[in-house]
Structure 1
Amino acid sequence: MPVVKHRPDHLPDESVRSGLSQLGIRAAELHYAAVGFGDHHWHVAAEDGTRWFATVADLENKHHCGDGPAAALAGLRAAMTTAVRLRAAGLEFVVAPFGEPVVKLGDRYALSVFPVVDGTSGDFGQTMTPDDVVLLQELLARLHTTEVEAPPCALDLPALKTDGAWSDGPYAEQARRLVNEHEGAIRARFEEFERLAEGVRRSAVVVTHGEPHPGNLIRTPAGFHLVDWDTVGLAVPERDLSVLTGDPAELTRYRELTGHEPSADALRLYRLRWQLYDLVEFVDWFRKPHTDDPDTVLAWTWFRKTLTALQVEPHDA
């Protein structure tokens, strides 16, 4: 997935201010926040004293919402509208956008604005305590048993494109060589994914978040709040549960609350899908023209970690 640590040169604060004003927010201060993956973020202090968290999506790199800026904009609007519906349905832990869920900023970018949640944010890859794992199972049980209109989640993966010319970017040749070295493991994991997907496509679906990892959780005195709803959609429960574990035996609390018996194959499928989807995006990154900036350095680190993870055989996962 695209990594974002520095702001784009062609997205000035004035564009963000203009979008905020369409929502009735007059910004007194804007501070770019170099956090997260995929989107750009600002801390906003309004003239009336309220605080907001502004997220700007790059529609040219929002492939899970749609291919191309127009489709990605439509997909993003469907996702953010679903978050609003979930919040209205009584799920207080859903951090949904304020006002119009998505405001277009030119042809490439789109803005969503969220109320600031006072609490402690987690980090992607952070290990959760057993108690926190139980709390997250309870949160997901509430989400999965809430019925609102939501977009379907595509299960199929985009094609991994490795043939043809690669760019002359600083990481292109190294990336091409690593893909070739791991060709056997990559092919085996794609074939495994297709085998597992056949069974899952016939299963019942619920509303899922998509990425309920610690980096998308905010701890508050009232419990966890869940952010980043651009991946929300209808899928089997294991889409979310796979973030917690690949072992159904560790999902006792979820099973008690929902009556659903998590599938080991579905858990494996979604853990594998995450790795393969990241691989496709990282390869696409290094095949195209790129520079040696902080985002690319971080992408290179995660690209190598993803290739290492794909070497693991199913019985070892």
Structure 2
Amino acid sequence: MKDQPEGIDASGVRQALLAWGIDAVDLGYAPVGFGDYHWTADDAAGRRWFVTLSDLADKNHCGMGADAAWQGLRRAMDTAAQLRDRDGLGFEDGGFVLAPAATADGESVRRLGERYALSVFPYVAGRSGDFGQHLTPEERARTLRTLAALHAVRPPVVTRVIPPELSARERLEANLAAVDRPWSGGPWSEPARETVVRHAAGLRGRLDAFDALRVDVAGRGAALVVTHGEPHPGNLLWHEGRQLLLDWDTVGLAVPERDLWLVAEGPDDLARYEELAGRKPDPSALALYRLRWDLEDVDAFLGWFRSPHAATPDLEQAWNGFLDTVRRLAA
């Protein structure tokens, strides 16, 4: 995020890092990504760390509400740690998992008050991309090999099942229905309401299509595997010829298509995954998770725009993303 978090400053982060044995001599805010807050920290031993602060009130994919989100985030970080420690998939061993460092008490993530949670990662220099960026055929092939390897792993006991249902369906339905009176909260509240009004029929149609796909896919009873959840270019890091997967807060058990729709661009990519994994991708499941992504985004955007907000760079980015997503859904 470009904006810095409310109620947490550099001194609070510096103090929290002591739980990892990190006495940060240099701590700098890193305005990267979208959703979490980040710093880089250098300690007296010359080691560099990448620090992530998660807002539990805005982590619906981990659980609705701060306490449920905390439990889900902790299970996700523990899963990444087990993939590193149990399965040898950590980048330190030549693998693709960039997992969180443990505190002195063995925690993969630590809660800071009621609202936030902190996790710490080794800093790895490399090249990453952005969501929506086009991968070359070679990069897609490499990513599909990574996913096939992940999907073949024996699931850790701690790993959550991620159901295909929308994480906040009731809230989304309520926001879509509450367009008969003005919205307040900030500069994008009324424009968001007007956008929903203009595209109401299209949005409702896509929700109905989602429900039909969900029933269809559930009826096939496909086996669940460990999925990353968001293997888009923004969560890929290319380091010394290797590919690492970042941001494991979305990890969970689901059908492979939860990952594949974000990577595969056509029949050749799907055939390559089938050869690697021994499983033919399901077109209905690919469509389900593509649609689920957009509907989850609409819910998150409306939640922000109906809450108190100001005109910040992050909210402007959210507004542009909201418009693009709604137009795509209602087309």
For normalisation by structure 1, the TM-score amounts to 0.94
C-alpha RMSD of the superposition:
1.3
Distance 1:47 1:14 in 2: 17
- Equivalent residue number for residue 176 of structure 1: 193
Which residue of 2 is the match for residue 90 of structure 1?
Answer: 88
SS state at 2:274 partner: helix
Give the letter for the 1:109 counterpart.
Y
Distance in 1 (CA, whole Å) between partners of 2:176 and 2:314 is 22
Give the equivalent residue in structure 2 for 1:306. 325
- Matching residue within 41, 45, 66 for 1:44: 41
Q: Report deviation, 1:246.
A: 6.0
Please give the secondary structure, in 2, of the residue aligned with 1:177.
helix
Counterpart-to-counterpart distance in 2, 1:261 and 1:154: 21
Q: Is the 8 A contact 2:153 2:226 kept in 1?
A: yes
Question: Which runs of structure 2 are paired with 1:276-295 in the superposition (5 Å)?
Answer: 276-295=295-314
Q: What's the CA shift for 1:109?
A: 0.8
- Structure 2 residue matching 1:230: 3-state secondary structure: helix
Q: Which residue of 1 aligns with 2:162?
A: 153
Question: Contact conserved, 2:141 with 2:269, CA < 8 A, in 1?
Answer: no
Contact preservation (8 Å) 1:205, 1:235: yes
| CA distance in structure 2 between the partners assigned to 1:112 and 1:307 by the alignment | 33
Give 1:222 shift.
3.9
Deviates more, 1:50-59 or 1:157-166: 157-166
Counterpart secondary structure, 2:248: coil
Shift of residue 65 of structure 1? Answer: 0.7
Does the residue aligned with 2:297 lie in a helix, a strand or coil? helix
Partner deviation per Cα, 1:267-310 (whole Å, 9 max, x = no partner): 11111100000001111111122111111111101000101111
8 Å Cα contact 1:242/1:270 also seen in 2: yes
Partner AA of 1:311 in structure 2? A
Equivalent residues of 1:248, 1:262 under 8 A apart: no
Q: Name the CA distance, whole Å, in 2 between partners of 1:273 and 1:67.
A: 17
Give 1:135's match in structure 2, choosing from 120, 130, 142: 142
2:53 touches 2:117 (CA, 8 Å); kept in 1? yes
TM-score (norm 2): 0.90
Distance 1:206 1:117 in 2: 27
Give the partner amino acid of 1:54: V
Tell me if the contact between 2:271 and 2:280 (Cα under 8 Å) persists in the aligned partners: no
Alpha carbons 2:187, 2:311 under 8 Å: kept: yes
**Structure 1 unmatched runs, 5+:** 313-317
1:114-151 deviation line (CA, Å, top 9, x unaligned): 00112111111111000000000100000000113211
Quick one: which amino acid aligns to residue 120 of structure 1? Answer: R
Are the counterparts in 1 of residues 176 and 200 from structure 2 also a CA contact under 8 Å?
Answer: no
Q: Secondary structure of 1:310's match?
A: helix
* 2:53 is the alignment partner of 1:56: yes
What residue in structure 2 maps to residue 231 of structure 1?
A: 250
Closer, same or farther: CA 38–168 of 1 in aligned 2, 3 Å: closer
Counterpart residue number, 1:68: 65
**Correspondence for 2:117:** 110
* Cα deviations by residue, 1:196-220 (Å, 9 ceiling, x for unpaired): 1113222211000000000001101
Give how far 1:252 is off. Answer: 2.1
Kept in 1, the 8 Å contact 2:62–2:68? The answer is yes
Tell me how far 1:247 sits from its aligned partner. 4.0
Q: Measure, in 1, the Cα distance between the counterparts of 2:42 and 2:280.
A: 46
CA contact (8 A) 2:17 2:23 kept: yes
1:43-88 residue CA offsets vs partner (Å, 9 max, x unmatched) = 1111111000000001111111111111111110000000011112
Aligned to 1:20: 17
Q: Which amino acid aligns with 1:96?
A: A
Once structures 1 and 2 are overlaid, which stretch shifts more, 72-81 or 114-123? 114-123
Give the total of aligned pairs. Answer: 309
Alignment of 1:270-281 (within 5 A): 270-281=289-300
Per-residue deviation, 1:311: 2.5
Query: Which residue does the alignment assign to 2:92?
Result: none
